[in-house]
Amino acid sequence: MRQTLVNDLMTARRDVGTTKRAGDEAATKAARAKVHAAKVALGERGPTWWDDDTDYNRHLIKNTPYAGWWSTRAQST
């Protein structure tokens, strides 16, 4: 699954360059949205743990605000 997402990310990045060179702003916007979606799916974007007001280091993931995020990550691997 991870490799598929990485492949999707690389394809979307190539599409951004191709559409920018072609001057197609709508297609560039769509390609950037695909880059963003791939990065979110890979865990490169989304909720940040370092800005929390609370330290969740000694909590089970299911008892933190990240439970939903973790369950989607666990299903995709």
Task: Please write the tens of the pLDDT for every residue from 11-56.
Answer: 999 999 999 999 999 999 999 999 999 999 888 887 766 676 778 8
Cβ neighbors of 3 (< 8 A, separation 6 or more) are: none
Could you report the per-residue pLDDT of 1-12, keeping only the tens digit for each? 889 999 999 999
Which of the four pLDDT bands, split at 50, 70 and 90, describes residue 74?
low
The domain segmentation of the chain, as residue ranges, is 2-76
Q: Are 9 and 35 in contact (CB under 8 A)?
A: yes
